[in-house]
Amino acid sequence: TPTAGDWQDILTKLKGSHNTLYGIARMANPVLSPGNIVLEFSFPFHQKRVSDARYIQILSDTAHEVLGYPVSIKAKLNKSKTKPMSEDAPAEPTNLGKITEIFGDNVMVDNE
């Protein structure tokens, strides 16, 4: 059975050669079982991207290299963690104090 440490090793290997896939795969919550890795995503966009046959093949090949044996890779949407954005929700105000703290006092704000 793959472990959480194995998943981190797979991500590290991806980072070096497939940076875009790495960026998406690291957003997953991996569910590990013998011969299988199910990647649960909170957002449909991430799940759809990883479900692309090319990305599944890259993940499978990388996992095989790291683990030394083949595993099946599947991506699914974790509906319990998906929160639709409400149209009624107010936009968060810009925190100028935080921006100033990060970028310094020379921040220009365009209020148009």
Q: Which residues form the domain of 48?
A: 4-77
User: Model's pTM, two decimal places?
Assistant: 0.69
Q: What is the CATH number of the domain that holds 56?
A: 3.30.300.180
- The tokens for 20 are 């875009």
Does position 93 have pLDDT exceeding 90, yes or no?
A: no
Q: What is d(CA 1, CA 41) in angstroms, rounded to the nearest whole number?
A: 21
Is residue 90 a part of any domain in this protein? no
pLDDT tens-digit map of 33-79: 999 999 999 999 999 999 999 999 999 999 999 999 999 999 999 98
Does a structural domain hold residue 101? no
List pLDDT tens digits, range 77-92: 998 854 554 444 455 5
* Nearest of 65, 71, 81, 70 to residue 29 by alpha carbon: 81
User: Do 75 and 66 touch, CB atoms closer than 8 A?
Assistant: no
Residue 55 lies in a domain: yes
Q: What percent of the chain has pLDDT over 90?
A: 65
Looking at the 3D structure of the chain, how many domains does it have? 1
Q: Could you give the CA distance from residue 97 to residue 79 in angstroms, rounded to a whole number?
A: 35
CB-based contact 22:10 (threshold 8 Å): no
